[in-house]
Amino acid sequence: MINVIPVSRNTNQLTFEGRYPNKVFSDVRDIPNLPCAKCGQKMLVRMEDQNFLTKIRPVLKTCLKKLKKFQKVKGYKILEQLANKYPKDNIDKILQKEEEKEQTNLLSPKLVNEVRAITYNAPFVIKKLGKYRKYMDSTALELFDILSVYAEKYPKMTFNEILSKSEIFNFHKEAVLLEKAALEVKAQRIFDKMSILTSKKHSPQNSDNSIQETLTIANCEVLRIIKNNTNDDGRDLLLEQVYKNVLADIQNPKDVEKFKNLIKSLPKSSSNPHRIIVNTVQNESPHGIIYHLMNKINTFEHIKPKSQKGENGKHNGIYLCSDCNNKRGTTPYSEEFTMFPDFAKNTQKQASIVMRYILRGKLTGYDYYPQEVKKTLYEESGHIFKLDIKKYLKEQIKKYTDSLNKTRERFQKSREDVNNNKKELTKLQQKQKILKRKNKKNYEDLKKQKNKLEEIKQILKDDNNFGEDSTRVLE
């Protein structure tokens, strides 16, 4: 089993202190300044690059002035009508208006993309990009400085216009070609050493010439990878795969190890501003430069790749910056943790922050995330990495115990209230019975009094009638 250096206890310890945003989050990708689980750098919240692009796009009316060549394209008149109707809005805001969906749905994606490709002039963009410098790595900072010079030199042009200028594009293209030539010279020195190492017959089934032919073919493929591949992740394993037939022909184990060391010593091409600018122009990517400058967007990383039936659930994800996520590919985590010693430490650091947010009630819907992702990481890393969640579980137990105790207290109080109300109700019912009996007696007394009153009235009436009769007799 592969051994991974365990994360130090100091790194794993959770300290549930500090200040938190007032906002409650429902997605880890919205937590500000969360460190990447791989490189450890602070990340921008999801969609921050898209929000930035919205801010540097001028109003639609201004864009249409630069798109005169599309006047005959279907949908251009619709854009003109919308530009007149919403003179202060850019294409993004207009496309979000529900009342205009019927019109905007008629627009072709190509025309919309042409509008979206237009930005404010370079100085404005550089000024807005300034606040993201703290999220930029060394390559992005170098690119930012180059673009700042261009913005000062061509203040009335956009970056797409500046970088498309032949003299600028050719300058960066030449720098890339020189870099590739230097890589080829360095690689050729290693190829020569490989040739010497494999010059004697290592396998009785193969002649010296066949080994050299296999080596030459492999060298051509490796040279192509060295010149064009700027991705470090799994590079040595990829090159070993290319040389697998050569390695199979080498019988001496010591020579095999020597050959593998030569593979590791092959030069590496790295991402640099010259390559970024050339690729952006060649691929006609209008916002490629922005994406390279803001390559620390918080993204969901499938621990088990989707191509290997990995699910989209939270249990199968950690969070990487867009740069690290793009580099990973489908490399197994058993290899990832071995190739990148800081991966385990940074993954623990990210998880610790996420756990603090959960415990502080600042992240909802993730109560079981630590337990689930711990299991996934353990399985996908080949049982070499265990996420430390002990402190989290203790805090959760304490939290739920406190909650249970409070609920029990409320229940006890409620039950006492019910019992008290029952006693009170019994007393009232008894009083009611007494009052009913009194009421009945009073009613009977009232009835008797009424009867007596009627009797008296009748007697009085009879007396009156008798008096009248006597008077008539006397008369």
pLDDT: which is higher, 443 or 323: 323
> Which of 62-76, 314-328, 457-471 has the lowest average pLDDT?
457-471
> Which of 16-20, 180-184, 383-387, 404-408 has the lowest average pLDDT?
16-20
State the pLDDT at residue 91. 95
Percent with pLDDT over 70 in the chain: 92
User: Which are the contacts of 298, defined by CB distance < 8 A and separation ≥ 6?
Assistant: 28, 29, 30, 31, 34, 43, 44, 45, 46, 319, 321
**Which residue is listed with tokens 């990148």?**
340
Q: Are 180 and 227 in contact (CB under 8 A)?
A: yes
State the pLDDT at residue 210. 81
Three-state SS for 194? helix
pLDDT: which is higher, 128 or 413: 128
**pTM above the 0.95 mark?**
no
State the pLDDT at residue 206. 47
Cα distance between residue 326 and residue 460, in whole Å: 116
User: Which are the contacts of 186, defined by CB distance < 8 A and separation ≥ 6?
Assistant: 267
- The amino acid sitting at 344 is A
Cα distance between residue 110 and residue 339, in whole Å: 42
CA angle (37 as vertex; 3, 50 as ends), nearest 5: 155
pLDDT digits (tens, 9 = 90+) for 167-196: 999 999 999 999 999 999 999 999 999 999
Q: Is the pLDDT of residue 145 over 70?
A: yes
In DSSP terms, 301 is beta-bridged to 318
What is each CA distance from 443 to 24, 180, 335, 426, 438, in whole angstroms?
Answer: 67, 116, 97, 25, 8
Q: Which two tokens stand for residue 9?
A: 């206890």
**Which residue is listed with tokens 């490189």?**
39
Largest CA distance in the chain: 175
What is each CA distance from 470 to 41, 105, 379, 396, 464, in whole angstroms?
Answer: 127, 114, 125, 107, 10
pLDDT digits (tens, 9 = 90+) for 87-104: 999 999 999 999 999 999
State the pLDDT at residue 400. 80
User: Which are the contacts of 131, defined by CB distance < 8 A and separation ≥ 6?
Assistant: none
Three-state SS for 303? coil
State the pLDDT at residue 30. 97
Cα distance between residue 287 and residue 270, in whole Å: 21
State the pLDDT at residue 467. 61
Kindly state the DSSP code that residue 97 receives in the 8-state scheme: -
Three-state SS for 264? helix
Cα distance between residue 119 and residue 263, in whole Å: 45
DSSP state letters, 60-95: HHHHHHT-GGGTTSTTHHHHHHHHHH-TT--HHHHH
DSSP state letters, 33-49: TPBPTTT--B-BPTTHH
Sign of the alpha-carbon torsion through 25, 30, 33, 34: positive
Mean residue pLDDT across the chain: 88
Count of other CB atoms within 10 angstroms of residue 271: 19
What is each CA distance from 434 to 101, 118, 429, in whole angstroms?
Answer: 75, 90, 9
Percent with pLDDT over 90 in the chain: 62
Q: Which pLDDT band holds residue 432 (cuts at 50, 70, 90)?
A: confident
Domains of the chain, residue spans: 47-55+130-296, 57-118
Kindly state the DSSP code that residue 329 receives in the 8-state scheme: T
State the pLDDT at residue 444. 82
Three-state SS for 319? strand
Q: Is the pLDDT of residue 461 over 90?
A: no
Q: Which two tokens stand for residue 352?
A: 């610790």
